[in-house]
Amino acid sequence: MNDTAHALSTSGTLWELVVRRAGLTPDRTVLLQDDRSLSFGELRDRAERVAAGLYDMGVRPGTVVAWQLPTRIETALLSFALARLGAVQSPVIPFYRDREVGFALRESKAEFFAVPGTWRGFDHTAMARRLGAKGIFEAYDALPDGDPALLPAPPAQGTDVRWIYWTSGTTSDPKGVLHTDRSLIAGGSCLAHALRLTADDVGSMAFPYAHIAGPDYTVMLLLYGFPAVMFEQFALPDALAGYRGHGVTVAGGSTAFYSIFLAEQRRQPDTPVVPTLRLLAGGGAPKPPEVYHRVVREMGVQLTHGYGMTEVPMITMGSPDDTAENLATTEGRPPEGMEIRIVDGEVRLRGEAVCQGYLDPRQTAEAFDEDGFLRTGDLGHLTGSGHLVLTGRLKDVIIRKGENISAKEIEDLLHRHPAVGDVAVIGLPDAERGERVCAVVEQPPGAGALTLDAMTSYLRAEGLSVHKLPEQLEVVDALPRNETLRKVLKYRLRERYAR
């Protein structure tokens, strides 16, 4: 991290970080979307006006404001306006519907709720009214406006809980995760430090801004003073014009995003899909080593992958100067200040980027051990160089006839098979074995039929122990995924095939 970025990372609050960056490079662009742009100075000035408009509406320091908005410049302005006021924000993924949104509104006790109106054919305002939400207002392309001179002083320190994020994707019950400005700045600093980006780079946000990755990425922009292109909806090839037109140098999001870029590259193998692109980066879901090798080989760009979660937005991150072996097989190294402890194979964490716990105190008590380390539920180990290798989930260990089997080990091997586009290996109840191993496969376009015998023969040839071989194969058109970083929903597969 350069000296300027390091100095900015000491900011006590997100609003202080905005003000300090705007003072350094007021005219440099921070956000791009279609034909619109926003500079760092405009971010500061316009967010203050929005904050004043919110203040006129009755939003005060500590007021809980939920917002369910797509990835837009206006969403970032609203979020930073709330940070200027010292309100408590509860971002909600825009794809959530009545059950999840109602849960978030009730649990957070939100006093205001910002929605996009009708977005992608769904009426969010009607849903908000149906749920009995308080203080409903639309904030898609028009935001509250007021006189900043009437605002109270900004928050003085960043260690109060001002963010409630919602776990999503791999379990059926969300949890309200409590964050501070400082924990979000710490997470973004880790990302910025690892990727070695410069003021000449152009990033991209193709994921929901309401995801924990939203502030994570935006902090990086503020630390290094470069812009990012925002995509309200990510779909290739439609989004390519935005990547190419703005000269994006860094793209990604998660493993699914890498695969989507790869598929697009294969349409015209000899023409770079985005000529200016030099780096794919992301996290939030496991990365099979073969995906790394395919990206480097076929796209001619570097790939760095990291490890993060809603509770800890950035834990480790691969760096472009890591070895190919480390980039392919590990999740990178933790930054200074992130402690990793391996207890009975489980990864546990302590540091400034770790959340303060959950809305439910019982969940908080269960999540932290006696030394204050967060139990992640992930299995892994540290290499001699300090890189973290993840080997699976505690709940993803299949116990067959008393033997532990790692789903990830089988998945990584199957990712090398030409007839496998993506795969999820799950354990299913079995009266004789305790659990049986089931592989659920999504095939790439044009692939030949895959049979259980052919799959197990391949795995035997790859050296997989006989007791780990899948006993069941299910081929699906598409694996079920969440709408944020496209994680596979294994619990849905277990529910479906357990029957």
Tens-digit pLDDT profile for residues 422-468:
999 998 988 777 789 999 999 998 888 999 999 999 999 998 888 89
Contact (CB, 8 A) for 212 and 484:
no
Beta bridge partners of 491: none
Mean local confidence (pLDDT), 65-79 = 98
Cα-Cα-Cα-Cα dihedral sign, residues 257, 294, 198, 37: negative
Of the chain, the end-to-end C-alpha distance in Å amounts to: 52
pLDDT grade for 171, boundaries at 50, 70 and 90: very low
Residue pointed to by tokens 């905005």: 18
Classify burial at 275, counting beta carbons within 10 Å of its beta carbon; exposed 0-12, middle 13-18, buried 19 or more: exposed
Percentage of the chain exceeding pLDDT 70: 98
Query: Residue 170 pLDDT more than 70?
Result: no
421 neighbors 478 (Cβ within 8 angstroms): no
The pLDDT of residue 485: 67
pLDDT at 192 over 50: yes
Q: Determine how many CB atoms are found less than 10 A away from the CB of residue 359.
A: 18
Long-range contacts of 451-460 (CB under 8 A, 24+ apart): 454/419, 455/414, 455/417, 458/414, 458/417, 459/410, 459/413, 459/414
| Mean pLDDT score of the chain | 93
Which segment of 141-145, 236-240, 406-410 scores lowest on mean pLDDT?
A: 406-410
Q: Per DSSP, what are the bridge partners of residue 368?
A: 374
Average pLDDT over residues 66-84: 98
Question: Residue 146: is its pLDDT beyond 70?
Answer: yes
pLDDT of residue 435: 85
Contact 211/174 with Cβ under 8 angstroms?
no
- What would the mean pLDDT of 409-416 be, rounded to a whole number? 92
Choose among 252, 265, 282, 384: nearest CA to 323: 384
- Own/partner contacts of 321-327, CB < 8 Å, gap of 24 or more, are 321/196, 322/387, 324/292, 324/296, 326/383, 326/385, 326/387, 327/292, 327/302, 327/303
Going along the chain from its start, the domains and CATH numbers come out as 1-395 (3.40.50.12780), 401-498 (3.30.300.30)
DSSP label at 268? Answer: S
- In terms of Cα–Cα distance, which of 85, 84, 93 is closest to 63? 85
pLDDT at 172 over 80: no
d(CA 6, CA 348): 26
Condensed to tens digits (0 to 9), the pLDDT of residues 245-293 reads 999 999 988 888 898 999 999 999 999 999 999 999 998 777 888 889 9
Tell me what the mean pLDDT of segment 211-229 comes to: 95
The whole-model pTM stands at: 0.85
Q: Phi/psi class of residue 247: alpha, beta or left (left: φ > 0; alpha: ψ in -120 to 50)?
A: left
Give 401's pLDDT tier (boundaries 50, 70, 90).
confident
Q: What is the pLDDT of residues 313-340, one digit of tens each?
A: 999 999 988 999 999 999 999 988 899 9
Is 60 exceeded by the pLDDT of residue 139? yes
Please tell me which residue, 410 or 170, carries the higher pLDDT value. Answer: 410
At residue 122 the predicted structure's pLDDT band, cuts being 50, 70 and 90, is: very high
Residue 467 pLDDT? 86
